[in-house]
Amino acid sequence: MKEGTLLWTPPPERFAQSNLERYRMWLHAEQGLLFGDYEELWRWSTAHPDTFWGGIWRYFDILSDTPYDRVRTGTGMLDTQWFVGSRVNFAEHALRHESVDPDSVVFCHSSEIRPLAQMSWGELGGAVRRMATRLRAMGIAPGDRIVSYMPNIPETAIAMLATTAIGAVWSAAAPEFGAPTVIERFGQIEPKLAFFADGYSFGGKAFDRRSEIAAITDALPSLETIVWLDYAGFDAAPPSPIASHSFADLLAGPPIPREDFRYERVPHDHPLWILFSSGTTGLPKAITHSHVGIVAEHLKVKNLHMNLSPAKRNFFYTTTGWMMWNSVLSSMLAGSSAVLYDGSPVFGGIDALWRIACDARATVFGASPTLVQSMRAAGVKPSERFDVSSIDTIFVGGAPATPDIFAWFYENVRDDAWVVSSSGGTELCSALVGGVPGKPVRAGEIQGRQLGMDVHSWSDDGDELTGEIGELVVTSPFPSQPIYFWGDEGQKRYHASYFETFPDVWRHGDLIKFTDDGGCYIYGRSDSTLNRFGVRIGTAEIYRVLEGVAEVSDSLIVCCEMPDGGFYMPLFVKLAPGHSLDADLVKRINRQLREQASPRHVPDEIVAAPSIPFTLTGKKMEVPVRKLLMGQPASKVASRDAMADPGVLDWYADFANRPEVAALRRTAKEGAPVA
């Protein structure tokens, strides 16, 4: 399938009934604005950000104790503040639909442990109010950090909403993460209370996490309270010197009427949650978002770009350690319900996700391209095995989606579905480019820039590019930018992560190409962050685990996004004198990565290398090695004058030309670059 091939054109009546068209007509009635096409609307939204975002506030009737003084203040991307003077609460907006129809479904949920069940808006709202009230009684105050080590189940959603309802700050790690990986995250933010589940199930096997929980608890001296969920059937909580409460006990008690509960409306710069994304050095970045920024951004993207509504059910396969979990729960801002699933995406068969989606009558099906590629390779045909009639939107995200994956949906699911891809990330907990209702679907193409997102493709010299691959940059502030990285004194790390390449311009780290009509294609990471099955992994996370392997004196890890939608992540190790890379050592390295980090940290291959390439300034040359494996010549990937040992790169160039490595690149399609 050639990149850009037209696959589907939505009928005019479908766009006429979309949220985006209703918003466009509101702009005409409210402000006398009329736009000929979407690109014109997008250009206006970025040229007049105060008018646009102020309109979003009014259109969605954002609730605030006080009116904001100004839509934004500041002169640059790092110092801009949004809706200064307002006081807003995320959970209040997420649960607003409860008052409209408390008996309708908000969650369809299942797991490998639990059968499919439903939860109503009234049940969720009641549970959140009881939990939030108990948290307040424990002394949890606005600004206190609360963390979670629980799976993708309703209890975790209740904990998050209760935390944010009282102005405390939420952060989560998925239960498959090993204790060291969790500690290096939570240790940065000094949590006061933790929600723990005893374990989880994956692939039909139950995993007891009580020993990991004990290690995490011991390593967090700030913890005062544990809330314990008996989920996987491992009974007692591990011994702990601090107070422990049962999750079920905290939900017990008489109902608390909506009118008797007070949401903590917080200032514009008050933190909502802390998401973690890793760079190539140091600890994972503690990315902190605000209530008002996420509320404004998610109201926009869920309604206008994903076209969600109370009639929709949104399913995307995710774990609680990925920003997509937060994004799925934000479906509630549009009055939409969410489908939650905890377990392996192939438990019960390679087509398990389709069974889950169809049993829950999801209208939106979402998964990473890697999972879809596995289904495609296995010959899965969902329309032949399941009733897919409820699914009208297919969302593929987390990594670039190939033209063949787009075509597979139309051939094997529905020929009239809206297939959407997007790119954004943890940094903004949303999308920079993504779906545009009414635009045609073309193979591999993301439909357009999202409203209010001033996104461009730039050359290395900062020139605007169209029809060519360049760096994805954002040239104007946006509300869901991080308000800061937690503990980042002077915003030094924040600045270094996004603003060092182009002054006061956000360099996102993706390679992107825009078409003349605003569509775009993402070609993977331009930096050395690993993209493993749609989840970013910092190379430093790998290196920290390997420091505990005595036989390994140094290492280098890269991840290549291949043109067939898959990934190739080799780990190169320089062995200590007297040691060899035998099967036992390979097995032990993989086991430690799996247990101390997560299964996603396990490489596809471990290769013994004579040395690790460094620059003269002491930086590992991850990006040049990745480019070599993706097919670029050694003369183009690095300056030998800048290398500590120029001859080292020759070995990696030879490795890249080995038949088994070169074969990974031979599936390149016309118009689909691999680097």
Q: Write down which residue in 249, 264, 279 finishes a domain.
A: 264
What CATH number does residue 612 fall under?
3.30.300.30
- pLDDT score for 636: 81
* Residues comprising the chain, all counted: 675
Same domain, 657 and 601: yes
- pLDDT score for 246: 95
- Burial readout 149-184 (b: 16 or more C-beta within 10 A, e: otherwise): bbbbbbbbbbbbbbbbbbbbbbbbbbbbbbbbbbbb
Q: For the chain, give the longest Cα–Cα distance.
A: 77
Residues of the chain with pLDDT below 50 are 667-675
Report if residue 531 sits inside a domain: no
Same domain, 89 and 99: no
- pLDDT score for 561: 77
Same domain, 189 and 338: no
Same domain, 247 and 275: no
Residue 102 has, within 13 A of its CA and on its CB side, a CA count of: 9
Is there a contact between 598 and 584 (Cβ–Cβ < 8 Å)?
Answer: no
Report if residue 21 sits inside a domain: no
Residue 624 backbone phi and psi in degrees, to 5:
-60, -40
Provide the pairing of β-strand 193-197 with 145-149.
parallel
- pLDDT score for 349: 95
Report if residue 530 sits inside a domain: no
Same domain, 85 and 99: no
CA–CA dist 125, 97 (Å, integer): 10
Report if residue 48 sits inside a domain: yes
- pLDDT score for 199: 95
Report if residue 404 sits inside a domain: yes
Q: Looking at the DSSP assignment, which residues form a beta bridge with residue 636?
A: none
CA–CA dist 506, 461 (Å, integer): 15
Percent helix, strand, coil in the chain, to 5, is 35, 25, 40
- Amino acid identity of residue 335, one-letter, is G
How many CB atoms are closer than 10 A to CB 190?
15
Same domain, 373 and 302: yes
What CATH number does residue 467 fall under?
3.40.50.12780
Residues 6+ apart with CB under 8 A from 484: 288, 491, 494
- Amino acid identity of residue 106, one-letter, is V
Q: Write down which residue in 471, 501, 525 finishes a domain.
A: 525
- pLDDT score for 660: 84
CA–CA dist 337, 382 (Å, integer): 23
Q: Write down which residue in 244, 264, 284 finishes a domain.
A: 264
How many CB atoms are closer than 10 A to CB 234?
16
Report if residue 177 sits inside a domain: yes
Residues 6+ apart with CB under 8 A from 161: 91, 94, 95, 124, 128, 132, 329
Report if residue 290 sits inside a domain: yes
Same domain, 372 and 504: yes
Same domain, 126 and 47: no
Residues 6+ apart with CB under 8 A from 523: 400, 469, 510, 511, 512, 513, 561, 673, 675
Report if residue 56 sits inside a domain: yes
- pLDDT score for 666: 60
| CA proximity to 52, closest of 498, 508, 327, 449 | 449
Same domain, 598 and 492: no
Q: Looking at the DSSP assignment, which residues form a beta bridge with residue 556?
A: 572
CA–CA dist 674, 666 (Å, integer): 10
Same domain, 384 and 246: no
248: left (phi over 0), alpha (psi -120 to 50) or beta: alpha
* Tokens 């009055």 found at: 335
User: In total, how many domains does the chain have?
Assistant: 3
What's the domain range around 552? 538-665
Same domain, 176 and 216: yes
- pLDDT score for 671: 32
- pLDDT score for 278: 63
* Chain centre to alpha carbon of residue 218: 29
What CATH number does residue 190 fall under?
3.40.50.980
Same domain, 214 and 224: yes
